[in-house]
Amino acid sequence: MSSHHFVKEQQEPAVFILDASQIQFDQISSLLEWVPTVLVAENSLDRVLSWGIKIDVILASDTFQEENKHLLEEQYPVKFLTATLDTALEEGLQYLVASKHFAAHLIGIPHLKALELESKTEFMDLTIIDGDWKYYPVKSGKFRKWFSESEIHIHAKEGLPIEIDNENGKLILPISYTTFLEVPEGITEINSSSIFWIGEKIR
């Protein structure tokens, strides 16, 4: 390992890997190009290490830390953060907020957890990668984007009314458990009185 390493200034979105089992390296390699801070939960560590990427923080139980002290040297300057599988997401996000990261990609968490993360979106920009889908919040409630003809997913509190405007016309509908929307090529505008998340297929 080279004795010099990049000084990270938290300008790049952190990459926080909670579950790598459904993720291929090529899905996230572009997120690593600018040497972001990388956090990994212990259950995904072996898979992520096999990708040969530099890890900064390992979220792990006391037992795991005790049994894997060698990682502190092999992955220097890595640090351990104590967490269980149930608390890893919260502990990792608290660490990122405290260390003044302004954005993070969350890899391998169910998009259904997005609504639980809304208090964190006040402090940082979050993107969720769940399988083949990428989700990001529209905090202002106003969204406008050019799409090729495709399917998107709108995720928000059940029953939240949203207004959709594109080549197909104008539509107002309440969000249900899974609101998938076929969008035509061109600009789609989506407006609501509250935060919602947009999901796009990434491959």
Helix, strand, or coil (residue 72):
helix
Average pLDDT for 155-169? 94
Angle at 29 between CA 195 and CA 114, to 5 degrees: 20
Distance between start and end Cα atoms, the chain = 34
Query: Does residue 17 have a pLDDT over 90?
Result: yes
Mean pLDDT of the chain: 90
What's the pLDDT at 5?
A: 43
What letter does residue 32 receive in the DSSP assignment?
Answer: G
Q: How many residues does the chain have?
A: 203
Flag whether pLDDT at 118 surpasses 70. Answer: yes
- Looking at residue 74, its pLDDT comes to 86
Six token digits for residue 188: 């789609």
Where along the chain do its domains lie? 14-131, 138-201
Q: What is the mean pLDDT of residues 81-94?
A: 94
Average pLDDT value for residue range 107-120:
90
184 sits in which H/E element: none
How far apart (Å, rounded) are the C-alpha atoms in residues 72 and 80? 8
Q: Single out the residue of 126, 102, 100 nearest to residue 115, CA to CA.
A: 126
33 has a pLDDT exceeding 60: yes
How big, in percent rounded to 5, are the helix, strand and coil portions of the chain? 25, 35, 40
**63 secondary structure, DSSP code:** H
Phi, psi of 193 (to 5 degrees): -85, -5
Mean predicted confidence (pLDDT) in 170-185? 90
Global pTM exceeds 0.85? yes
What pLDDT does residue 24 have?
87
pLDDT level of residue 9 (50, 70, 90 thresholds): low
Residues 138-201, CATH architecture:
Sandwich (2.60)
The pLDDT score that the predictor gives to residue 2 is: 36
Determine whether 116 is exposed, middle or buried from the number of CB atoms within 10 Å of its CB (0-12, 13-18, 19+): exposed
Task: Name the band, by pLDDT with cuts 50, 70 and 90, for residue 11.
Answer: confident
pLDDT at 1 over 70: no
Taken in order 153, 121, 131, 89, is the CA torsion positive or negative? negative
